[in-house]
Amino acid sequence: MARSVLEVFLSSTAKDLTAYRDAIYQRLQRNKFHCIRFEDFGAQDAEAVAYCCELAAKADFFVGVIGLRRGYEPSGDDAQRSITEMEYDAATQANCRTYLWVSPEDFSVPGNLRENDSEYARQLAFRKRVGKQIVSQKGFTSPEALASEVIERLLMDRIEELERPEREPQPTKKQRSALRATIEKLTDEDVDLLAPALATKDAFGALSLLGAKLPAYMRAWLPGRHDVSFVHDERFVEKCRALLPETGTIQVIDSSVVTFDAELNRALSAVRTPIVTRESLYALPKPLSRFQGYALRFRNPTMNEEKIRLASDLKSETIRSGRAVELRRTSYFLGIASNELGDVVIEQVDRKQQNIESLSVFDLYVAQEGRLVPLSRSALSNHIGVTSLVITSDNCVVLQWQGSTQVDSNKLNAGGSGSADWDDIEAARLLKRPRSDLSLQDLVRYAMEREVYEELGAKVGPGHSSTAITGFTRYVHRGGKPEFFGFTCLKQDFASLAIPHNEEKWVRALERRQMDGNSVASLLRVITMIEAEFDPHKTTRASISLVLALRFAREFLLNNPDYQLRPNASTT
């Protein structure tokens, strides 16, 4: 008789990874998986080792967390394998679905747990051997982050199993039960999020909320009465040309539309702006909420993360007055389902009534008088983006070719580009020395340097890097989404940078442009050269982020000719 509960065998060393094991175990149990771990079956003798391997082979999933510590090596094994390695071999030989999370090379092991050189060498060999089965290395930022990655991977496995081609085009009762069982294994928060979609049998929308793919048989089963499509607004640029700027200017650059204020940019780099954080999660407006699942399928994002929503207006006079700005919690998926539809018309066809309902997202963030709705009143997610030019110790300006999954896919961008995570707030606070109140500028600089670390493998932080904020814009073509710009000076050379393996689908390749010295004048000459090379009037190879990063850096340097291009340069 088949098991009604899926079994997950959790394998890792214990003493160095206790917090990670506990977080994964609790998350699995909470989601109705049965987690098997050595804590549940006693001592490390020959019989226990054999029993461990037997359970690993029989489990539905094998989850391995591989650190830098070797751990227990049972006697009598000619290959001197650790018990974790033996469990892994048993699972793979039994064709158990196996997922591994391998710690980064700089993951610390407590001094009292360090092993001898031969054990360490065998562990490195094991890590290399399993390299092709690694799911990720990013989850090691915290036990909770790793637990979330494990749950998401197991959920995707269940959804993909339902999508296999041998399934019938119409769902059977058993298939529907399998899908329902998958949904029931979600966290309580996710279930609450999915409940409205499930109540209307919109399982497509429910799965899309988690970034999961719609099973093939569900595509034939669920559409029913409505067809929904996302169509580029052919009049979008024309409508943007008629917009009235709140302050500053609105510019159309190729197919992108941006608004910025030179006076605000000067103020941002000169003062410290207090912040107020609100924990409540942003919610989509009603006109967009019913299309959330469809929007995620349309944009096809690969992962979801909590982001920072800018909920206050940025104007030069308010920045200089010292007024605090409000930051709220949002998520990447919520941005996909709102801001990233900024130049889209949503069309819903009711096949029964034979009519078409259209929604222009443009009308949700542009007021009737023809002005961009202020951030304080905007109905969209508006999570903060960050873009930073990168300058190395050997006087190179670093550029990156973006991968096909990015918004500006396969275009050239500045060295570091991404968005501010909600976790950046606490991380930036912990990093501050001396511990004073965190400012908006502190937070933005931290987010920029974190992106440089993640995308280039660079060393960042005090003594390794310094970042200047050069500008701010709102991307009108992305629903008025806010974006900060800057440049980061590193203490390492270009040759030491490398795209981390887990970033390769976002960053395709690196390029550099050589400066003739370490002065503001040298950097200005290279900026002018890159601007001429990638003039948007002549080529579309450069992303709008790179075009603006170059422009704002040039304006900042002309206003600050004495700025020191070195990692310990002072910042406000």
pLDDT higher than 70, residue 531: yes
Q: Prior bond to 171 cis, omega within 30? A: no
Q: How is the chain split into domains, by residue range?
A: 7-162, 178-224, 236-365, 385-559
Higher model confidence: residue 442 or residue 137?
A: 442
What is the reported pLDDT for 302?
67
As a whole number of Å, the CA-based R_g of the chain is 26
What is the reported pLDDT for 117?
86
What is the reported pLDDT for 211?
40
Q: Are 328 and 278 in contact (CB under 8 A)?
A: yes
What is the reported pLDDT for 168?
39
Q: Are 383 and 338 in contact (CB under 8 A)?
A: no
- Cα–Cα distance, 324 to 536 (Å, whole number): 36
Q: 529: closest CA among 399, 417, 432?
A: 399
Same fold? 7-162, 385-559: no
Residue 293 parent element (H or E): helix 292-299
**And the tokens for 566?**
């070195």
Q: Which CATH superfamily is domain 385-559 in?
A: Nucleoside Triphosphate Pyrophosphohydrolase (3.90.79.10)
Q: Give the range with max mean pLDDT: 198-207, 356-365, 467-476, 492-501.
A: 467-476
- Cα–Cα distance, 501 to 505 (Å, whole number): 9
pLDDT higher than 80, residue 572: no
Higher model confidence: residue 152 or residue 483?
A: 483
- Cα–Cα distance, 285 to 379 (Å, whole number): 6
Q: What is the pLDDT of residues 167-181, one digit of tens each?
A: 434 445 554 555 555
Higher model confidence: residue 37 or residue 2?
A: 37
- Cα–Cα distance, 511 to 192 (Å, whole number): 45
**Residues above pLDDT 70, as percent of the chain:** 81
Q: Give the range with max mean pLDDT: 92-106, 484-498, 532-546.
A: 484-498
What is the reported pLDDT for 351?
58
Q: Running DSSP on this structure, what letter comes out for residue 414?
A: E
Q: What is the pLDDT of residues 184-242, one digit of tens each?
A: 444 444 444 443 343 333 344 444 444 443 343 333 333 344 578 888 888 999 999 89
* Beta-bridge mates of residue 391: 397, 489
pLDDT higher than 70, residue 411: yes
Q: Does domain 7-162 have CATH number 3.40.50.10140?
A: yes
Q: 465: closest CA among 486, 438, 434?
A: 486
The count of C-alpha atoms lying within 13 angstroms of the C-alpha of 200, restricted to the half-sphere facing its C-beta, is 13
pLDDT higher than 50, residue 444: yes
What is the reported pLDDT for 363?
92
Mean pLDDT of 36-60: 78
pLDDT higher than 70, residue 63: yes
Q: Are 16 and 168 in contact (CB under 8 A)?
A: no
- Cα–Cα distance, 540 to 436 (Å, whole number): 44
Q: 9: closest CA among 112, 81, 83?
A: 83
Residue 340 φ then ψ, to 5°? -75, 0
Confidence tier at 326 by pLDDT (50, 70, 90): very high
Cβ neighbors of 89 (< 8 A, separation 6 or more) are 53, 81
